[in-house]
Amino acid sequence: MIKQDISKYKHIWVFIEYEGDEVARVSFELLSKARELAKDLGCEVHAFTVGEKVSQFADQVFKYGAKKFYIIEDPILKDYITEPYRDAITYLIDKYKPEIVLIGATTLGRDLAGTIATTLKTGLTADTTGLDIDPKTKNLLMTRPTFGGNLMATIFCPDNRPQMSTSRPGVYKAVEAPVKGEIIREKYAFDKSKYTKRIIEKIIEEGEKVNLGFYDIIVSGGFGMGSKENFKLVQELAEVLGGTWAASRKAVQAGWAPQTRQVGQTGQTVHPKIYIACGISGAIQHQAGMKSSEIIIAINKDPDAPIFEIATYGIVGDVLEVLPKMIELFKKKLGKA
Amino acid sequence: MHFLVFIKQVPDAAQVRVDYETGTLIREGVPAIINPYDKHAIEAAVRLKKEFGGKVSVICMGPPMAEEALKEAMSMGADNAYLLSDRVFAGSDTLATSYALWAGAKKIIQEQGPVDIFFAGKQAIDGDTAQTGPGIATRFDVPLITYVVEIKKVDPEARKIQVVRLIESGQETVEAPLPCFLTVEEELNTLSYAPLPYLIRAARTPVILLNSKNTEIDVSQCGLKNSPTKVKKAFTPPKRERGEMLEGDSIDAILNTLYEKIEPVLKEMGKVQ
């Protein structure tokens, strides 16, 4: 392992992920979390991204407290392709030497982070759900679930910089803290002959993109719902409660709900005030995405379903009988009848 | 064509339970399996071999018992199996692991010839990092395509491949030159049953052992000591207390009880007056 002079590295960098004109919410969540860490370190929070046109995101990243926004704009970066993105970003990191680099643990973020860390020969901790600064050493402490959420591990990277982490969306709250920031434009001399991979077609899945982390009430349906048709009950209850609806992996695999609404280890992590699990058995992988909800209400036919182990309130019964009555009750109580 | 598949032997995470008394994982009696995603990578490679000819090599880094996983890979149709096993690898993080596997793969290339397509599962179910595959691809400097759900076209003449991969908002079709590195999802294929000739060959073909002595490997990049990331502590997540099962004479009665319990929270949220 190559020992580095780590004293040259300063400030926290947050990768700004976007799709089209829209910045991914996880980027704002990470900017907000990075401000807390920066306080402990006595440093600044900076944002960075690359693409064909990315300077229009500047106002948004400054609104979330980034003092600088490092960008590389080039037509070759129009679509996300691993290799040119990696080369442009490692160039920025090499030049400006941030102490910490945070990237959202999305499909794009996880694709990108591994190749950047390998190129930089530094440590990377994947899919973290907790970030803290060690008060003594000032190292970043990165906590992540392993073994399907059965075990938590706190990882640190003492001798290499930057300390890199991909962080799960929905873990931190996005809180605005506007500052007057500065855009720093860089150029990278791409060797175009090197990039031989290309995107032929992109299919954006039906249905809007949903950020489940945004809602304080989530009604979630599982395989016990029985059909896509029955999922309307889940949707209706969510609407009555002024929340949103979600699904377990099994229900998504059955085609009853889009992947964009999946909660769990391979879906989104949520922690609403109220989570209503309808016909969800509650496998450990599902629990990994929702067990930090404040109140969990579980409805399931099987009294031995694991979901009851973590439910605040459990109801043993057929969801198809319970849900219509529940919708009726809340309509009445919430004055929506 | 030559296909090289990176596999890992893992404890079946679905069967691992937590001992809350001691705060440790209960691993006794938990079977060691081929990482489920890796099995689909083997299957994909074997199918391509059937279509285009060639051979499938498999490599696994791990303790001697991982030989079992490699035997299983051969019973699925792999032709050569390599076990990369050495004490110097113990405690490697993802950067050190991708280094060791890269070195091992270079040895396989010396023995079996250049690789056209590298395969790995999208992630392992024990660590869930999804970093080792991308790390190896980066070290070989070949195009990386993660989260592959379909192999649309392989053109050995033009040396090109077309695959479909998952992205956050849907899917995309990507074309890449060979050689390239694919990490795959379970949706890529359905596993076939091992036919008898494969089983016989698996039983007869020895697993080839690679270690720091017979492979060109810089041990100063291996193992716990040379891994940039270290584990500070491991702990079991706080157990959520089992709550209350609501009972009553009718569903209506149960729901009324539920409503009374959560009314204060709904008020606090401004949902009810």
Tens-digit pLDDT profile for residues A174-215: 999 999 999 999 999 999 999 999 999 988 876 666 778 778
Tens-digit pLDDT profile for residues B228-250: 999 998 888 777 778 899 999 99
Tens-digit pLDDT profile for residues A317-335: 999 999 999 999 999 998 8
Distances (CA, A) of B10 to A197, B16, B223: 32, 11, 18
Interval B196-223 mean pLDDT: 95
Which amino acid, one-letter code, is at B163?
Answer: V
- Verify whether the Cβ–Cβ distance B172 to A202 is below 8 Å: yes
Which residue among B16, B145, B255 sits closest to A325, beta carbon to beta carbon?
A: B255
Tens-digit pLDDT profile for residues A240-282: 999 999 999 999 999 999 888 999 887 888 888 999 999 999 9
Paired tokens of B56: 């499938």
CA-to-CA distance for B15 and A292, rounded, in angstroms? 22
Interval B102-122 mean pLDDT: 98
Which candidate in B128, B221, B222 is best for mutational testing of the A interface (most A CBs within 10 A)?
B128
DSSP state of B250: S
The total of other beta-carbon atoms located within 10 Å of residue B188's CB is 23
Paired tokens of A3: 């020992």
The total of other beta-carbon atoms located within 10 Å of residue A204's CB is 14
* pLDDT of amino acid B13: 72
- Verify whether the Cβ–Cβ distance A119 to B138 is below 8 Å: yes
- Verify whether the Cβ–Cβ distance A294 to B271 is below 8 Å: no
Residues of B in contact with A108 (CB under 8 A): 167-168
The CA distance from A180 to the nearest CA of chain B, in Å, is: 31
CA-to-CA distance for B164 and B39, rounded, in angstroms? 19
CA-to-CA distance for B228 and B93, rounded, in angstroms? 7
* pLDDT of amino acid A10: 96
Percent of chain A with pLDDT over 90: 78
CA-to-CA distance for A88 and A217, rounded, in angstroms? 40
Which amino acid, one-letter code, is at A53?
Answer: K
Contact A266, A285 (CB under 8 A): yes
Contact A99, A10 (CB under 8 A): yes
Interval A37-52 mean pLDDT: 98
Interval A282-298 mean pLDDT: 90
Q: How many CB pairs under 8 A join A and B?
A: 246
Peptide bond into B228 cis (omega under 30): no
A176-181: long-range contacts, CB 8 A cutoff, minimum separation 24:
A176/A63, A176/A64, A176/A65, A177/A32, A177/A35, A177/A63, A177/A64, A177/A65, A178/A62, A178/A63, A178/A65, A179/A62, A179/A65, A179/A66, A179/A67, A180/A62, A181/A58, A181/A61, A181/A62, A181/A66, A181/A67, A181/A68, A181/A69
| pTM reported for the whole predicted model | 0.85
pLDDT at B216 over 80: yes
Least confident of A163-177, B4-18, B167-181: B4-18
Q: Round the CA-based radius of gyration of chain A to a whole number and report it.
A: 22
Residues of A in contact with B138 (CB under 8 A): 86, 114-115, 118-119
* pLDDT of amino acid A231: 96
* pLDDT of amino acid B82: 98
Q: How far apart are the first and last CA of chain B?
A: 70
- Verify whether the Cβ–Cβ distance A204 to B170 is below 8 Å: yes
The CA distance from A170 to the nearest CA of chain B, in Å, is: 15
* pLDDT of amino acid B67: 96
Residues of B in contact with A283 (CB under 8 A): 14
Residue scoring higher pLDDT (A8 or B168): A8
CA angle, corner B123, sides to B117 and B129, nearest 5?
Answer: 125
Residues of A in contact with B125 (CB under 8 A): 148
Strand partners, B253: none
- Verify whether the Cβ–Cβ distance A216 to B269 is below 8 Å: yes
- Verify whether the Cβ–Cβ distance B231 to A155 is below 8 Å: yes
* pLDDT of amino acid B22: 67
* pLDDT of amino acid A215: 84
The CA distance from A150 to the nearest CA of chain B, in Å, is: 6
Chain position carrying tokens 């529940």: A326
Domains and CATH numbers, chain B: 2-226 (3.40.50.620), 243-273 (no CATH)
Contact A151, A145 (CB under 8 A): yes
Reduced to 3 states (helix: H, G, I; strand: E, B; else coil), residue B93 is: coil
Paired tokens of B223: 């193992």
CA-to-CA distance for B213 and B37, rounded, in angstroms? 30
CA angle, corner A149, sides to A145 and A153, nearest 5?
Answer: 30
- Verify whether the Cβ–Cβ distance B146 to A204 is below 8 Å: no
The CA distance from A304 to the nearest CA of chain B, in Å, is: 12
DSSP state of A215: -
Domains and CATH numbers, chain A: 6-194 (3.40.50.620), 212-333 (3.40.50.1220)
Paired tokens of A314: 């459990």
pLDDT at B32 over 90: yes
Residue scoring higher pLDDT (B271 or B173): B173
Which residue among A111, A118, A153 sits closest to B95, beta carbon to beta carbon?
A: A118
